[in-house]
Amino acid sequence: MQETDIVVKPRGVMPQGATTLPAAYYTAPDYFQREMDAFFGRMWVCAGRTEQVQVPGQFVVRELVGESLIITSAADGRVHAFYNVCRHRGTKLCTEEAGAFPGSIQCPYHAWTYGLDGRLIGAPHMDEVPHFRREDYPLHRVHADVWDGHVFVNTSANPPPLREQLGDLPSKFTSWRMADLQLGHRIVYDVRANWKLIIQNYNECLHCPNLHPALNKLSHYLSGENEPLHATYMGGRMDLRPGVATLSTDGTCPRAFLPGLGDQDRRRVYYYAIFPNMLLSLHPDYMMVHTLWPIAPDRTINICEWHFDPQELARPDFDASDAIDFWDLTNRQDWGVCELSQAGISSRAYTPGPYSNREDLLYAFDRMIVNLHSLKNEER
Ligand code: FES
Ligand SMILES: [Fe+2]
């Protein structure tokens, strides 16, 4: 497709003085902490997939707002999340990142034992203690819920329902039947950049022709459309160029399209950043999910997964290297510029720079962040 084939829709003009944020938003520990408290400590955070806790006792451990959390499932299939802290003398229960409990969770110190639903079921020598009641010492629970195969946790005391945070996303993405999809590949990236730079980079494709020539060849950077910013997510779609079947190393698609998709969605890729930590990229034949795990103002662990239709995965000749290599290359290009941004923003020479009219989503996201910081300041 020629550049001229793209219909460029008129855009609103940015307000005068619409600039990027001051450096402190990306470098200062107190800004980082406020964002961790207000976003990661209050919102529903995407922690993985039900597939990872499918069998009762299967677990993953996640670090969230400085806390270690165990996510597992009980015999009734319900997903549970707990602080990784023994109720006896506080010992960290589980030191592995993933695995399977043998029907219960046992503390390595004095063998207090908990059911997969968190109940204390064994406490050696505590029977001798007057007034001790096991039911008073379940594992400290964290809220957990599931959207279409994605597991979410929330560490706040009384969170609103997950559905409220997701807004109209569940109905928008029903056709992808995400719960049915299965993991094909996972790469964990350690990105030396602030978590917001990764979200912002994900939501603009002005950089695509320059940074991702391979991507731009398959999907024109000005194609598609963004939605205005929502309180809990932002995103939009891009269109595949004529003759391109999916985002892969050569633009062909060796897999069947996902079974629920209509003609239109087979020609598009949807990119949604679901705050605070999930980047959901829906392709005609696969789903890519990034989850972001900030650990410092200038460092974010970024787990990237590719999920496929189980029928395709089961094929003896299944090979997803075309999709994985394509996005691994693109991911590395992205994280590379995020790290360069972080480095430049950390310089004393940095001053906020002007946004173009095509960076309106980023500006809206920044305004949300600024509001959050001012609200938190008022709370003090
Ligand atoms: S600290 Fe866990 S059993 Fe003692
Ligand atoms: Fe990019």
pLDDT at 1 over 50: no
109 lines ligand 1 (CB under 6 A): yes
Q: Tell me, in angstroms, the distance from the centre of ligand 1 to residue 152's CA.
A: 28
Joined together, the tokens standing for residue 354 give 């002007």
277 class by beta-carbon count within 10 Å (0-12 exposed, 13-18 middle, 19+ buried): buried
User: Residues of the chain with pLDDT > 70: what percent?
Assistant: 96
DSSP state of 301: E
Residues 6+ away with beta carbon under 8 Å from 227: 234, 235, 236
Q: Which one-letter amino acid corresponds to residue 10? A: P
pLDDT at 5 over 50: no
CA 326 to chain centre: 20
Residues 6+ away with beta carbon under 8 Å from 173: 148, 270, 280, 282
Q: Which of 112, 121, 134 to mutate to test the pocket of ligand 1 (most atoms within 8 A of CB)?
A: 112
pLDDT at 283 over 90: yes
**Is the CB of residue 264 less than 8 Å from the CB of residue 230?**
no
More confident residue, 9 or 17: 17
For position 313, what pLDDT does the model report? 98
For position 263, what pLDDT does the model report? 96
For position 8, what pLDDT does the model report? 47
Phi-psi region of 243 (alpha: psi -120 to 50; beta: other; left: phi over 0): left
Lowest-pLDDT range, 160-174, 181-195, 236-250, 361-375?
Answer: 361-375
pTM summary value: 0.94
141 lines ligand 1 (CB under 6 A): no
For position 14, what pLDDT does the model report? 79
Give the nearest ligand 1 atom to 89 CA: 1
Give the nearest ligand 1 atom to 91 CA: 1
Angle at 379 between CA 81 and CA 160, to 5 degrees: 35
pLDDT at 4 over 50: no
pLDDT at 3 over 70: no
137-153 pLDDT per residue, tens: 999 999 999 999 999 99
Q: Tell me, in angstroms, the distance from the centre of ligand 2 to residue 232's CA.
A: 21
A 10 A CB-CB count for 171 gives 9
pLDDT at 11 over 70: no
Ligand 1 atom 1: the closest Cα is on which residue? 89
Joined together, the tokens standing for residue 244 give 């391109």
192-249 pLDDT per residue, tens: 999 999 999 999 989 999 999 999 999 998 888 889 999 999 999 999 999 999 999 9
Joined together, the tokens standing for residue 305 give 């997964």
95-104 pLDDT per residue, tens: 999 999 999 9
**What average pLDDT does this structure show over 278-288?**
98
Nearest ligand to the CA of 208 is 2
Kindly provide the residue ranges of all beta strands, DSSP E only, lying in 55-171, ordered along the sequence: 58-64, 67-73, 79-83, 98-100, 104-106, 113-115, 120-122, 141-147, 150-154
Buried-exposed string 51-72: b where 16+ CB fall within 10 A, e elsewhere: bbbeebbbbbbbebeeebbbbb
